[in-house]
Amino acid sequence: MASQWSLTRTYDPDDEVNLSGLSGSLATYAAAVTGLVAVGRATGHELPERYSVSDLLLGGIATHKLSRLITKGSVTSPLRSPFTRFEEPVGSAEHQESPRGSHGVRHTIGELLTCPFCMGVWIGTGYVAALSAAPRAARAWAAVFTVVATSDALHHGYERLRSD
């Protein structure tokens, strides 16, 4: 244990990085993926040998949109509020927030809930798993969020055209 502590102190002498929380996130993610694989095998759902480009594009756009909605959307701020602190509105119905505290589970969850890049990994994993277990439902979910992302892009484009 002392060697672990000294490695942590060498990496982050000012204790600014929540290494124990991030380690917990990695372990939770690994356990979730292991669980998904185990459930898939137990229910006879095999991973496909390859994925179509259309499934990957659809899922990528949908994952982007849902990760922004979860981590930045003003409408989803009640879900984040136990783990985050509001800083300011940042336009387009989004909020800038920061994780509560400096360490611990609450802070770690707050980090995940304020990072669209981090959340994207979790959502993308769920989408790929769903393509194996329930491809029609996965594609339907992805289609909804892809349509919303396309609509958002058109709203932004329209606003720029109007203001020029």
Q: Say what the pLDDT of residue 163 is.
A: 73
pLDDT in tens, 145-156: 999 999 999 999
Q: Could you tell me the two tokens for 105?
A: 């589970």
Task: Indicate if the pLDDT at residue 38 is higher than 60.
Answer: yes
Considering just the CA atoms, what is the radius of gyration of the chain in Å? 19
Instruction: Give residue for tokens 């380690």.
Output: 23
Averaged pLDDT, 91-116 = 93
What is the average pLDDT across 89-99? 94
Number of Cβ atoms within 10 Å of the Cβ of 70:
19
Nearest of 13, 21, 20, 16 to residue 111 by alpha carbon: 21
Across 24-30, average pLDDT: 94
Q: Determine the length of the chain.
A: 164
**Amino acid at the residue 17:** V
Give the separation between CA 148 and CA 131, rounded to whole angstroms. Answer: 20
